[in-house]
Amino acid sequence: MKQKLFFHLILIAFTAYLFTGCSASKEEIEKYQAELSQKEQEVATLQSKLSEKEKLLSQKEQEIKAKESEFEKEMKKMNKNSADMDEEMLLPPNAKPGECYARVFIPAQYKTVTEKVMVKEPSFKLEVIPAKYKWEEQKVLVREASTKIVPVPATYEWVEEKVLVKPATTKLVKVPAKYEWKEEKVLVKPAHTVWKKGRGLIEKVDNTTGEIMCLVEVPAEYKTVRKRVLVQPETTKTVTIPAEYKTIKVKKVKTPATTKTVTIPAEYKTIKVKTLVEPAKTRKIEIPAEYKTVTKRVKISDERMEWKPVLCETNATPEFVKKIQRALLKAGFNPGPIDGVIGSQTQAAIVKYQKAKGLAVGGITFETLKSLGLK
């Protein structure tokens, strides 16, 4: 155990050295020193416990040796007493000449005793007197009063409403030019002068002379012409197209949906209630002891081995043996052939008879002969 602990400590130290190496910090060295100190304390504690265990083991070994010595002494003493007793029991005491003796088994002796025996000890019993009740009507609360929130639905109405089908718009419209008809005198031929043959006071005498030529002013010629005159040139203008509406029936909320708190009254029920009139109680009843007169067998002596005078070939004649065989047969125990010889069948019948009558077993004792009615 000590070697294992020492080896464990060396292993911890070696592991610490391997992990830390030469570059171990001061904190790590102090940590491993603390662990080593703790392990040394554990080793010291275990060594103390081990020494206590060894001490107890030594004491137990001494006690066992003392017990073994006492046991050997007692065994020697018992062997000596047994040898003395065997020596005393080798021969029958107070033997008479001419008699045969046998070491027989004497069964335990009993006597019949009549006595009063307590069958049942005195006791008591508790009688439970049940409680008394009566039925009465009682108003019982089945459900407590409470409140609940009930929704109130909204109400609606149909209203005629103009609905915008098409919103108002604008468009550019071409405005055509405006013309009008005007009559206008147009110069067809401007005023000019022409020479015309005239007539005067003296007309020519012949055709070769006397011709009068007059320079006549011809007025200008005009023609009345009807023409289209542009009054207003072509332009554009912005025209507003009005919105289009449609009259429809709309379902509108008249009153919005709300909630209201409704009080639910408590509910009661009239029931029949079993009411306690008198509580249950107990009554103590004494029960006397019970006795019984019994007859029992009481042992007055233990079974033992004892020397008894017996009948044998030395002091029994064949005729007397035949009497024994007849008596056994009469008592209901078959001794085999009635031949005056104490054979195996006769001996077996005698043993059965002795056991049945509670006599000493082991030989034809005088007590057995007396029981069979023989002298």
Mean pLDDT of 126-143: 82
Mean pLDDT of 310-338: 84
**3 state DSSP class of 126:** strand
Enumerate the β-bridge partners of residue 308.
102
Mean pLDDT of 311-328: 81
Q: Looking at the predicted structure, is the pLDDT value of residue 198 above 80? A: no
Look up residue 71 and give its two tokens: 């046991």
pLDDT of 65 reads 81
pLDDT of 2 reads 47
pLDDT of 225 reads 79
Q: Looking at the predicted structure, is the pLDDT value of residue 1 above 80? A: no
What is the percent of the chain where pLDDT is above 70?
77
pLDDT of 216 reads 79
Q: Looking at the predicted structure, is the pLDDT value of residue 206 above 60? A: no
Q: Report domain extents, the chain.
A: 2-82, 100-114+295-371, 169-241
Question: What pLDDT band is residue 25 in, cutting at 50, 70 and 90?
Answer: low
User: Residue 51 half-sphere exposure, CB side, CA atoms within 13 Å?
Assistant: 5
Higher pLDDT, 150 or 23: 150
Cα 346 to Cα 368: distance, rounded to the nearest angstrom: 13
Mean pLDDT of 65-86: 66
Higher pLDDT, 259 or 60: 259
Mean pLDDT of 58-87: 70
Question: What pLDDT band is residue 232 in, cutting at 50, 70 and 90?
Answer: confident
- Is the model's pTM score more than 0.95? no
Q: Looking at the predicted structure, is the pLDDT value of residue 5 above 60? A: no
Question: What pLDDT band is residue 332 in, cutting at 50, 70 and 90?
Answer: very high
Question: What pLDDT band is residue 93 in, cutting at 50, 70 and 90?
Answer: low
Cα 40 to Cα 43: distance, rounded to the nearest angstrom: 5
Handedness of CA 267, 270, 273, 277 (dihedral sign): positive
Higher pLDDT, 6 or 194: 194
pLDDT of 68 reads 77
pLDDT of 200 reads 59
Question: What pLDDT band is residue 347 in, cutting at 50, 70 and 90?
Answer: confident
Q: Looking at the predicted structure, is the pLDDT value of residue 177 above 60? A: yes
pLDDT of 359 reads 86
Which residue spans within the chain are E strands per DSSP?
100-106, 109-120, 123-129, 132-143, 146-152, 155-166, 169-175, 178-189, 192-197, 213-218, 221-232, 235-241, 244-255, 258-264, 267-278, 281-287, 290-301, 304-311, 364-365
pLDDT of 117 reads 77
